[in-house]
Amino acid sequence: MSEQPQGSSGAITMEDPNAPGAEPQTKEAKESLHRSILGSALGNAVEWFDYGVYGYLTIYMAVNFFGSEEGDGGLGVTLALATLAMSFLVRPLGGLILGPLGDKFGRQKVMVLTVLMMTTATGVIGLLPTIQTIGLAAPLLLLLCRMVQGFSAGGEYGGAAVYMAECAPDQRRGFLGSFLEFGTLVGFILAATVCTALITIVGDEGMISGWWRLPFLMTIPLGLTALYIRTKLGEAAVFSEASDSQETSKTPIRHTLRTQWREVLILGGFVVLLNVAFYLILGYMPTYMSEQLGHSTAQGNWMLVIIMLAMLAVIPFMGTLSDRIGRKTMLLSAAGGFIVLSVPAMVLLGIDNLFLQFIGLAVLGTMLVTLISSVSSTLPALFPTNVRYTGFAIGYNFSVAFIAGPSQTLTEALINETHNVLVPGIYMSLAGIVGFIAILCMRETSQASLRGEELPGDPGSVGWPSRKWVQINRTKSDAGKAMAQ
């Protein structure tokens, strides 16, 4: 495609169709892009299917692995959630090991490893004997499997997001990146549908007696499919260019902490909002609605499935919108919504009226889909290519492990201690404040090139958002592709 005159010569420059970040022109290039998007999204779906299954089956896991029973004051459920929280503590270790491997040897190789570990650990959970069979060894084995999952998750999401962002054309990174979160929602919806259908068919007694195993075992064929697709993927073009030019870092952790510590802190602050909202709305809400509000398990699950299906329908359009008006406008709108509307939404959930409860969930779902639609295109763009995977993995996983990850356990414990059912709303509102500040500190990276050793985006775009920065990014990106000829 032709461009406006560049520089003082007035010559017409042409975009190199083979440059990283350019729109694919050939059928082969388009098919390769589609495979890259599918491979990233499917692996992410497997990760969040597992997470969703554990969330929806928390009550049954508490009975089978922690001896939960009536009158224990919710101790069994708290221990089951604590096991989930413990797995988050391993994520930073996974990030510290897998992130640098991805920056040294390639994103695709690490993505194959993460989905293999994740599939194996989740499948094994479905085969574990219960506490009634082998005593205290049962929760210890469950914890071991969850820690393997946590280690693999330390490299999975960051790797998939970085790989997808580096494969996508600059001008459609928001749209294509939204399919990573599309995969997340598919995983959650599948988990909710399978678990709720099982609960409806076999009842609580049937689930406790052994049907809880089926959803975990379903991960095996899903994970093997994702593994097969990922083994067929090529390396991301942006990383390949950096590797060929010897622009990769030999010591990515040291390089990241020395030169990109600010971006690590910004990402970590944003992830406080992202994952507190994500885990409380999609992971904890079924337990909250049944245990704390007294709703039937099936009713709460089906309401959430409807909300997630609506989110699924709009998320690609929201990703496209972020390509046009900028990532920061979308993210700040979502963060502001969580600050103001989280507590009122929780009030609606507590009213004994199905319509008002649904409205409360819909408010939370709207804010969440606005937030996650551009996450996969925003966070990788905070870092230059040579430490992109490492910087993402460190900032994301440390924030998840020590702040956002324990949100479900802390929320459950605080509700039991204070008897205040609005705790989740207060938690999300406070997280919204942290996220809002972090977003203001970001550069606008919509349509910016991810190539090279420089930070994407213009330094002047820090602060309040403006659409002019999107156009400036596009102009610079097109000029860079023209120079690649």
In 3D, which of 38, 18, 165 has the Cα closest to residue 102? Answer: 165
d(CA 399, CA 157): 14
Angle value at C-alpha 179, between 178 and 185, nearest 5 degrees: 100
Please state the three-class secondary structure of 214-263 as a single string: HHHHHHHHHHHHHHHHHHCCCCCHHHHHHHHCCCCCCCHHHHHHHHCHHH
Q: What is the dihedral of CA 40, 47, 291, 312, to 10 degrees?
A: 20
pLDDT at 200: 87
d(CA 195, CA 370): 26
Residues recorded for the chain: 485
Other beta carbons within 10 Å of 300: 24
Phi, psi (deg, nearest 5) at residue 106:
120, 150
Q: What is the mean pLDDT of the chain?
A: 88
Q: Is the pLDDT of residue 114 over 50?
A: yes
pLDDT at 279: 84
Instruction: Report, as an integer, the average pLDDT of 176-186.
Output: 93
148-to-78, 144, 152, 206, 393 alpha-carbon distances in Å? 21, 6, 6, 28, 16
**Higher confidence at residue 52 or residue 468?**
468
**Higher confidence at residue 335 or residue 72?**
335
- pTM for this entry: 0.88
Tell me which long-range contacts 238-243 makes (C-beta under 8 A, separation of at least 24): 238/20, 238/21, 238/166, 238/167, 238/385, 238/450, 238/451, 239/106, 239/107, 239/166, 239/385, 240/20, 241/20, 241/385, 241/451, 242/385, 242/386, 242/451, 242/452, 242/453, 243/106
d(CA 437, CA 390): 23
Radius of gyration over alpha carbons of the chain, in Å?
Answer: 22
Q: Is the pLDDT of residue 479 over 60?
A: yes
Q: 27-483: which CATH topology?
A: Growth Hormone; Chain: A; (1.20.1250)
Tokens of 178: 């939204």
pLDDT at 34: 92
d(CA 204, CA 209): 9
At 14, is the secondary structure helix, strand, or coil? strand
Contact (CB, 8 A) for 338 and 367: yes
Tokens of 170: 């600059």
* Structure confidence by residue, pLDDT tens digits, 232-282: 999 988 998 888 887 778 899 999 999 999 999 999 999 999 999 988 888
Instruction: Report, as an integer, the average pLDDT of 75-102.
Output: 88
Q: Is the pLDDT of residue 133 over 80?
A: yes
pLDDT at 10: 40
d(CA 205, CA 198): 11
* Structure confidence by residue, pLDDT tens digits, 313-326: 999 999 999 999 99
pLDDT at 70: 56
Buried b (16+ CB within 10 A) or exposed e, 276-296: bbbbbbbbbbbbbbbbbbebe
Confidence class for position 285, pLDDT limits 50, 70, 90: confident
Confidence class for position 209, pLDDT limits 50, 70, 90: very high
Q: Is the pLDDT of residue 297 over 70?
A: no
Q: Is the pLDDT of residue 175 over 70?
A: yes
Instruction: Please report, rounded to a whole number, the percentage of residues in the chain having pLDDT higher than 70.
Output: 93
Phi, psi (deg, nearest 5) at residue 313:
-70, -30
d(CA 279, CA 188): 11
The one-letter amino acid code at 207 reads: M
pLDDT at 8: 38
Minimum mean pLDDT range among 211-225, 238-252, 286-300: 286-300
* Structure confidence by residue, pLDDT tens digits, 365-405: 999 999 999 999 999 999 999 999 999 999 999 998 888 77
d(CA 387, CA 391): 6
pLDDT at 259: 93
pLDDT at 7: 39
